[in-house]
Amino acid sequence: MPRPEPTPLARALGRVPSGVYIVSTLREGAPVAFVGSFVQQVAFEPPALVLAVARDREQLADLRKTGRFALSILGAGDQGLMSPFLKRLPEGTGPFDGLTVARTKSGLTVLEDALAWIDCRIAGEHDAGDHVVLFGVAEEAHLAREGDPRIHLRKNGLGY
Ligand SMILES: Cc1cc2nc3c(=O)[nH]c(=O)nc-3n(C[C@H](O)[C@H](O)[C@H](O)COP(=O)(O)O)c2cc1C
């Protein structure tokens, strides 16, 4: 059956651009991560960002428990860095295996080959229906190289 046409609202939402990030935190001391795009800076002082996580995403519990997340900010040409975080991995392996990583002072794993990374303390959360918005205060950051970030444009507001 053909899919129904996205509504004007869904199409308009699809014109809200974002970047692409590897969102990392810890589960029992080991790094876990996923590709995120619902991210925006929301304050200058303190420097703060929001990250929306699907309510049923398994890493949500890890984020809440750890109380921190790091964003590895992908550069315009960094599409390849995303793939390990999008496929099912064999038992006993992690998405960072084989990638060049760094550790933030708080112990989170970030991608050394990303454009930059930012480590945030989670200072609150807000219910957003099928997502939970985490409010993160940026506490440490590193700019690895100059260059443009990867821009993510969606077909419509019905998906990432
Ligand atoms: C470009 C892109 C952006 C995404 N942005 C988010 C996001 O902001 N928040 C979120 O919870 N999941 C986001 N996801 C989904 C997660 O990365 C998800 O773990 C991954 O797609 C695997 O899906 P599954 O766990 O539902 O099988 C995004 C996925 C892609 C491909």
pLDDT in tens, the chain (160 residues): 787 788 999 999 999 999 999 999 999 999 999 999 999 999 999 999 999 999 999 999 999 999 999 999 999 999 999 999 999 888 888 899 999 999 999 999 999 999 999 999 999 999 999 999 999 999 999 999 999 999 999 999 999 9
What is the pLDDT, as a whole number, of residue 121?
A: 99
Q: Tell the residue nearest (CA) to atom 24 of ligand 1.
A: 57
For residue 5, what pLDDT is reported?
87
- pLDDT in the model for residue 89: 86
Write out the residue range of the structural domain in which residue 62 sits.
Answer: 16-147
> For residue 5, with 0-12 CB atoms within 10 Å meaning exposed, 13-18 middle and 19 or more buried, which class applies?
exposed
* Helices and strands (DSSP H and E) totals, the chain: 2, 11
CA of 80 to the centre of ligand 1 (A): 16
Question: Which residue's alpha carbon is at the smallest distance from atom 7 of ligand 1?
Answer: 36
**Ligand 1 contact via 36 beta carbon (within 6 Å):** yes
Centroid of ligand 1 to alpha carbon of 156 (angstroms): 15
Confirm or reject: Cβ of 37 under 6 Å from ligand 1.
Answer: yes
Q: What is the CATH number of the domain that holds 96?
A: 2.30.110.10
Is residue 117 included in any domain, yes or no? yes
Q: How many angstroms is it from 85 CA to the middle of ligand 1?
A: 9
Q: Regarding beta strands 131-143 and 116-128, do their DSSP bridges make them parallel or antiparallel, or are they unpaired? A: antiparallel
The reported pLDDT for the residue numbered 110 is 98
Q: Is 29 a member of any domain?
A: yes
Structurally, how many domains does the chain consist of?
1
**pLDDT value for 36:** 98
44 C-alpha to ligand 1 centroid (Å)? 27
pLDDT of residue 92: 86
Q: Examine residue 21 and state whether it is found in any structural domain, yes or no.
A: yes
Identify the pLDDT of residue 124.
Answer: 98
Closest CA to 37 of 14, 7, 11: 14
Give the per-residue pLDDT at 111: 98
User: Is 52 near ligand 1, meaning CB less than 6 Å away?
Assistant: yes
Tell me whether residue 160 is in a domain.
Answer: no
- Is residue 152 one of the residues assigned to a domain? no
